[in-house]
Structure 1
Amino acid sequence: MKRLVGELTDLNIKFQLEEAAGVVCKVIYPIPVSSFSGKGTEVAICTLSSMDLLKKVSSDAIMNKLLIVGRLFSENKGIDHLIQFCTMSSTMKYLILCGKDTNGHYPADALMNLMQFGLDEHNKIIGTKAPYPFIKCYPNLVNKFREQIKLIDLRDCYDLDKIIETVNNLT
């Protein structure tokens, strides 16, 4: 028990340091846009850390078939926000992951493992290599997300034509 408490304390300190680093990064490297809304209802795209891909998708006519296109940088807060958005939509069915996973945080790996294996009793995503994969969403939201959304894995794909073809096959 002492060992578990010690590990959780170490993780809490590490999390606080990462939170502080995140605030510093936002000031030093501001990211002006995180998502763009489309006119569709069932398909969303997550370009992970690929900002150029986010801009390409957002300026293409495919936005008429997309609910939203956005980015995902973190394996905890980012996934929490993603779950909340997706479960608020009663029409969304598909989430396409494309682009580059964020080195060091690995949110795509965390999301894929969340979908496949779920959470442990401490709300930690099972099986991921992400360093701090703890979800704060209520378990019922996580379960709803896992049941409602089909994840389409196009990680490391930067080809807009292939992404568009995937969207067209889903709609």
Structure 2
Amino acid sequence: MNVIGEAIGELCKIILPINEEYYLGNPNSSIAVCTLSSMNLLKNFANSEILNKISIVGRLLSENKGIDSIIKYVNKNPQVDTIIVCGKEVWGHKPGHSLLELHKNGIDQKNRIINSTSPDPYLTVSKPEIRYFQHKINLVNLINETRFELILEKSSVF
């Protein structure tokens, strides 16, 4: 791991703490929504009737702990088979890109997401959990789309 990067990350946690924010919807739904860094988009989903049609909606801000959380969630909630990835990509970290690369390529021997261009794409989840994610989850790539109505229209799962 990059020592300077870790130090900067810890400093950011103190100066700019970012709460993990997600909203639970219908526990029987097969759909999850990831709004990347788009807070307004997250609120649109959380405050609409669509929340009754999705399992969870949340943000993804990091290419490591955030993706670990997604992998754990889908493994614990086997009814989820689709994740809509939308909203603004996080500049510098590119967790949306890393999530797509993980789905396509998996991880190497050092638990690094293969072909990720993120600065710290190392995961702690197990390889069986990642394989489950790769084989059981369909990703709908709408990265950088922030228009709520257009996401509903383009995702074609509602």
- TM > 0.5: yes
Q: Which amino acid aligns with 2:10?
A: A
Q: Looking at CA atoms only, which structure, 1 or 2, has the larger radius of gyration?
A: 1
How far is 1:159 from its partner? 1.5
Runs of 5+ unmatched residues, structure 2: none
Change (3 A) 1:22 1:141: farther
Q: Distance in 2 between matches of 1:129 and 1:20?
A: 21
Change (3 A) 1:14 1:86: farther
Q: In the TM superposition, what whole-angstrom CA distance separates every residue of 1:29-48 from its partner, at most 9, and x where no partner exists?
A: 544x6101112510010000
Identity %: 32
Check conservation: 1:62, 1:164, Cα contact below 8 A.
no
**Who is 1:170 aligned against?**
157
How far is 1:166 from its partner? 4.2
Q: Distance in 1 between matches of 2:29 and 2:94?
A: 27
Q: In the TM superposition, what whole-angstrom CA distance separates every residue of 1:107-147 from its partner, at most 9, and x where no partner exists?
A: 00111111111111111001111000001101111111111
Query: For 2:55, what is the secondary structure of its paired residue?
Result: strand
Runs of 5+ unmatched residues, structure 1: 1-10
Q: Distance in 2 between matches of 1:78 and 1:123?
A: 15
Q: Distance in 2 between matches of 1:153 and 1:38?
A: 21
Query: For 1:170, what is the secondary structure of its paired residue?
Result: coil
Q: Distance in 1 between matches of 2:106 and 2:17?
A: 32
Q: Distance in 1 between matches of 2:133 and 2:57?
A: 17
Q: For residues 27-106 of structure 1, what are the structure 2 equivalents within 5 Å? A: 28-31=16-19, 34-39=21-26, 40-106=28-94
Query: For 2:108, what is the secondary structure of its paired residue?
Result: coil
**Who is 1:114 aligned against?**
102
Q: For residues 138-149 of structure 1, what are the structure 2 equivalents within 5 Å? A: 138-149=126-137
Check conservation: 1:43, 1:95, Cα contact below 8 A.
yes
Q: Distance in 2 between matches of 1:101 and 1:36?
A: 20
What is the Cα-based RMSD across aligned positions, in Å? 1.6
> Which runs of 4 or more aligned residues in structure 1 lie more than 4 Å from their structure 2 counterparts after TM superposition?
none
Q: Which amino acid aligns with 2:13?
A: V
Q: Distance in 2 between matches of 1:29 and 1:137?
A: 24
What TM-score, normalized to structure 1?
A: 0.85
Query: For 1:45, what is the secondary structure of its paired residue?
Result: strand
Q: Distance in 2 between matches of 1:83 and 1:69?
A: 14
Query: For 1:132, what is the secondary structure of its paired residue?
Result: coil
Q: Distance in 2 between matches of 1:150 and 1:18?
A: 34
Q: In the TM superposition, what whole-angstrom CA distance separates every residue of 1:59-105 from its partner, at most 9, and x where no partner exists?
A: 11111110010000000011001100111101001000000111111
